Amino acid sequence: MFVESKIVPHLKTSGWIEVVCGCMFSGKTEELIRRITRAKIARQQIAIFKPAMENRYHSKHVVSHNANAIYSTPVATASEIYPLAQEADVVGIDEAQFFDEALVDVVVKLAQEGRRVIIAGLDMDYRGLPFGVMPQLMAVAEYVTKTQAICVNCGNPASFSHRLNPSSEQVVLGETDLYEALCRKCFNEV
């Protein structure tokens, strides 16, 4: 008699953390969506989360600047992610820089339980300083991918998000109306 067993990847293999970081317009969310889509093709159970405050394109979808989208669950705090991710083999988190410090413990616990955790977020704020929990997430990750945009001034690889308005608040949601990608030289000249 043949008995088919269901392979549950997170019970048989070790988990890990992947961080995709970079400046605005560098393709972070696009890469998150690509990796999640591949997990779906592999018939893995996925769960995707984003900060509830991030509703520029859609309240319940992670959306890239290229208009690619994937359904997500908006959450107000990082601690909400863990109980909602229990059935997932792969957990995606977008705009991680907006979450509180508890996100580090949440993703470490998910990975220790055998899940693949894919995180996307800005590594630096508009001043060129480390943003939120991103440095801690990069430190605990097995894989870190730094994406780059194209400098709108000179065409070189860009790693900085330059804000076009005078606000001094760290978090100001916006798109090309408020931000542009710049290389180090052009960023330091503004």
Arithmetic mean of pLDDT, 21-48: 95
Please confirm, yes or no, whether 87 is among the known catalytic residues.
no
CB 71 within 8 A of CB 47: no
> pTM of this prediction?
0.86
Q: What pLDDT sits at residue 7?
A: 41
CB 115 within 8 A of CB 13: no
Q: pLDDT of 37-95, one tens digit each?
A: 999 999 999 999 999 876 655 455 565 555 566 878 999 999 999 999 999 999 999 99
Q: Exposed, middle or buried by CB within 10 Å (0-12, 13-18, 19+), for 92? A: buried
Which of 18, 54, 95, 180 is an active site residue? 95
Domains assigned to the chain:
9-147 (3.40.50.300)
Q: What pLDDT sits at residue 5?
A: 33
CB 181 within 8 A of CB 26: yes
